[in-house]
Amino acid sequence: MATSSPFDSVEFPSFASLPFREGDPKGAIWGFYEHISNSPIKDELGSLNLLTSSRILCASQTEIQHGKLCSLNWELHKPFPAGYKRNGLEHNVFRMPEIKGSYVMDDEIHMNTQCGSQWDGFRHWSYYKTGQFYNDLHVSEVLGLEGDGKEKTVNAFDKPARNGIHSFQGKIAGRGVLLDFFSYAQENGINYAPNQHYAITADDLEKCAQAQGVKFEQGDILFVRMGFVHWYETAATEEDKQALAQPPPRAVGIKQGMEEVEWLWEHHFSAVASDTPAFEARPNKLEWNLHDYLLALWGVSKPKSGQIYK
C-alpha cells in the first residue's frame, strides 16, 4: 500500500486569485506547497510534489501494458552546433598514464547542461520583472557582481544550493500523457515547418487530446510532440543546423498567450516536456515567456530538446 501524502489530492486556487501570498508577483504560487504540507522549509520541488507514491502506484497498475523500456533522451551532442552559441558536448578519450602495465582508457566530458535533452531547474529562469526564481529566490543570491555563480569556489555536492536541480533526484516518476500534435496536424491538414515559428494554441491542444483519446489527471507529466526532432533527423541541412544555433532560434512551440497560460494552470501538470528547443514557440516578441510562469512563478519543470520519439 502506498504511503499517503497531503499532495494526493490538491485543491489549487484559481488562476485569477494568484498570487497565493500577498506581495508576491502576480500569478505566483510561492508558499502554496508548504501551506499544504505544513512544512517550515521552503519548497524546492514545485509541482513535482504531485508525484506522490499513490499516483506512481496507480500509474504503474493502470497504464503499464507491455513492460517495454523507451528512452526519451536525444543524443547528448544534438543539436549541433548548440543553440544560443552555448558550448556543446566535448568528449575526449585518452589513456590513463598513471596506471602502468595495461591500457586503461578514460573518458572526459565537458558541456553546457542546457544543451541536448535536459531538465530545466528552478535556478535557470527568473521572473522577468523582478529577477526572482521559484519561491522567492532572488538572482542576487545566485550570482555575484561579475555574473558568476556565488558558490563557484564551493563544491556543489558538499553545499547544495537552494533550488538546485539535485532536489529532483529520484522524484520524477508518474503518469505520462502524450499529445502527438505533429501526427494530428498531418492528419488534419495543418501544415507547418517545425524549424519555423508556429504557435500551437490551447484550443489546438484540446482538439488534439480529444482526437487521440487523451484524458488528463492532476499530476500528469505532459509530453507534446511537435515534430522538431523528426525534422532535424530527416530533413535538416547543415545550413539549417548552423542557422538554428544563432539567436534567436526559430521553432514550433506552444503559443505564448494568457489562454495558454490558464490552460496549463488549470490542468496542474507535474511537469511538461516537448521535442522542441524551448517548449514555447520561438522567436518570442512578447516581454514575458511561458518560462516565467512554468519555472519561476509555478515551479513546473520542463525538459526540452528531443524528449519525444522521432
Reported as a pLDDT band with limits 50, 70 and 90, residue 43 is very high
Query: Mean pLDDT for the chain?
Result: 90
User: Angle, to 10 degrees, between the axis of helix 258-267 and the axis of helix 202-211?
Assistant: 50
306 versus 181: the higher-pLDDT residue is: 181
Reported as a pLDDT band with limits 50, 70 and 90, residue 303 is confident
Cell of 55: 499516483
Would you state the pLDDT for residue 89?
Answer: 83
Closest CA to 252 of 205, 299, 188: 205
* Distance linking the first and last C-alpha atoms of the chain: 37
Which range of 17-26, 69-78, 82-91 scores highest in mean pLDDT? It is 17-26
Prediction pTM value: 0.90
CB 134 within 8 A of CB 30: yes
Q: Which of 101-115, 182-196, 210-224 has the lowest mean pLDDT?
A: 101-115
Q: How far apart, in Å, are the Cα atoms of 107 and each of 7, 93, 101? A: 42, 5, 19
Beta-carbon neighbour count of residue 126 at 10 Å?
Answer: 21
Exposed, middle or buried: residue 149 (CB in 10 Å: 0-12, 13-18, 19+)? Answer: middle
Domain ranges of the chain: 174-304
Secondary structure (DSSP) of 98-127: TS-SS--EEEEEE--TTSSSEE--TTS---
Mean pLDDT throughout 214-221? 97
Would you state the pLDDT for residue 307?
Answer: 46
Would you state the pLDDT for residue 13?
Answer: 98
Report the distance separating Cα 213 and Cα 179, nearest Å. 10
Mean pLDDT throughout 242-256? 89
pLDDT tops 60 at residue 308: no
pLDDT tops 70 at residue 310: no
Mean pLDDT throughout 242-265? 93
Q: What are the tens digits of pLDDT across the range 288-300? A: 999 999 999 999 9
Report the distance separating Cα 231 and Cα 185, nearest Å. 14
Secondary structure (DSSP) of 226-261: -SHHHHHHHT--HHHHHHHTSSSP-BEEE--SHHHH
Report the distance separating Cα 198 and Cα 255, nearest Å. 8
277 versus 191: the higher-pLDDT residue is: 191
Percent of the chain with pLDDT over 90: 66
Report the distance separating Cα 310 and Cα 305, nearest Å. 11
Beta-carbon neighbour count of residue 52 at 10 Å?
Answer: 21
Q: What are the tens digits of pLDDT across the range 117-151? A: 888 989 999 999 999 999 999 988 887 756 666 65
Closest CA to 294 of 127, 115, 117, 162: 127
